[in-house]
Amino acid sequence: MADSSRRRRAAAPEPPQAQQAWLADVATAAAADAGGVPVGLLGDYLPMLADAAVSGRRPRRAELDAVGRLGRQAAEQGISAGRVVQLYLSSARRLWQDLPMVVRSRDSEVVRAAAEAVLHVIDDAVATLAEGYAVARRDLVRREEALRRELIDDLLRGDSDLGSLVERAEPFGLDLARVHQVALAAPSRRLPDTDTAISALEAVIFDRLGDRDVLVATKEGLLVVLVPAEAAAASRTAPAGQDDDLGRLMHGELNRLRHGRPWRVAVGRPHPGLYGIARSYEEAREALTMAGRLQTDKTVITAHDLLVYRVLLRDQPAIVDLVSAVLTPLMQARGGAAPLLDTLDAYFATGGVATESAKRLHVSVRTVTYRLDRIKTLTGYDATDPAHRFTLQAAVLGAKVLNWPAERPPITV
């Protein structure tokens, strides 16, 4: 009882108006320490500290809930967590330095008890502030992710209202009037941790291209990257004419992740405007599908590399007719058509060099020349004759597209 009486006498409160002016000065100075954070984010925190120093009272639940709401408010205003915490700690330090009631007391027990009470308030308040901030940030991230996913869906579909899309794209830094290209990354298995993959891609792409006109999201189990074509071109380190720099950049970063390897990346061609985004996306998606059908071992595919296949597919009845007319006789060969098709594919890929074809096929040169002769006998087309080569090569490409002879080509009328 004697200690409590002595503490109350030493800590006699100042007049309300004087205390309010003093706390306002503390708040203003602390806000400046924190880089201009709004003073309003302190709420009733400083009166709580002063009251704790005088009476030793712990903060009530309602008071801490109010601090938590202030933490959420700070997150919604885009203020960093570090600056908000600095505001609270700086104001506590300044309040303690200038606390008139304690400074005038020479009783060490009074000072110790006041310090303990103040530290309790700081501990509870800052923890509640940080928790409120974290909850708000999680909500903001979820809302932004939902908006990002909706935006990317509409951009890639290409049939949404242009005015609405321009307005929704602005917060993400997208200028839909520019030339963009789309790249898709497909994991070997299911998409791994989405947040980790997106963060990895954002970090490397933002570092290389900047964060304007760049969007990274997911769609249908794929990672989608939208970038301005001018920025992608400006970042080239490879010789001119190579348009797979973006794909190699993405593939290199994604391969660092523990899950999802081996990745395959497809890059669409650059196109202007809103509908150009949807067109580039369709090209990248078609490139992924075609790469799987062709069973290529390339990890980075560009739509430009597959233009010839797109040309072939535009007139599917014609390519079916070409494959059937030119290559069907190969089915009569011992072992079927597949070994002869592989030989033609290797022969054309190596520029018509039999020795290189043999190395690629892991057979002898004699085997290659024998197979070429057998193809000439069965089909009437000579792969070594320039006049016949184009027809044979087009037919081989068509067979790849149609997955012939593993699959029977559709019947054409």
Tokens 């990890």 correspond to what residue?
A: 299
At 266-287, the pLDDT tens digits run 999 999 988 899 999 999 998 8
Higher-scoring residue by pLDDT: 320, 261: 320
CA 137 to chain centre: 18
By the 10 Å C-beta count (0-12 exposed, 13-18 middle, 19+ buried), 388 is classed as middle
Tens-digit pLDDT profile for residues 167-215: 888 888 888 888 999 999 988 777 767 778 888 888 888 888 776 778 8
Helix 81-98 × helix 16-33 angle, to 10°: 140
- Average of pLDDT values for 238-263? 73
At 100, the pLDDT band (50, 70, 90 cuts) reads low
| Predicted local confidence at residue 374, as pLDDT | 93
Would you place residue 237 in the very low, low, confident or very high pLDDT band (cuts 50, 70, 90)? very low
Average pLDDT, the chain: 83
- Looking at residue 41, the DSSP 8-state letter turns out to be G
- pTM score, whole prediction: 0.59
How do residues 346-383 score in pLDDT, each as one tens digit?
Answer: 999 899 999 999 999 999 999 999 999 999 999 999 99
Give 278's Cβ-side CA count (13 Å radius). Answer: 13
Q: Which two tokens stand for residue 166?
A: 């321009």
Of 177-181, 217-221, 312-316, 403-407, minimum mean pLDDT range: 312-316
Phi and psi (nearest 5°) for 217? -155, -175
CB of 392 closer than 8 Å to CB of 345: no
HEC states along 4-34? Answer: HHHHHHHCCCCCHHHHHHHHHHHHHHHHHHC
Cα gap 316→210, rounded to integer Å: 42
* pLDDT greater at residue 312 or residue 26: 26
Q: Using CA atoms, how far apart are residues 50 and 97, in angstroms rounded to an integer?
A: 12
pLDDT at residue 412, rounded to an integer: 52
Question: What is the pLDDT, as a whole number, of residue 164?
Answer: 83
Alpha carbon of residue 80 to chain centroid: 22
Cα 166 from Cα 175, distance rounded (Å) = 8
Look at residue 9 in the predicted model and tell me its pLDDT.
Answer: 40
Q: State the CB neighbour count (10 A cutoff) for residue 413.
A: 3
The more confidently predicted of residues 287 and 99 is: 287
- What lies within 8 Å, CB to CB, of 145 at 6+ separation is none
Taking the C-alpha atoms of residue 391 and residue 88, their distance in angstroms, rounded to an integer, is 78
**pLDDT one-digit tens code per residue, 15-54:** 466 667 888 889 999 999 999 999 999 999 999 998 888 8
Give the pLDDT of residue 402: 83
54: tokens are 């005088």
| Residue 183 bridge partners (DSSP) | 225, 267
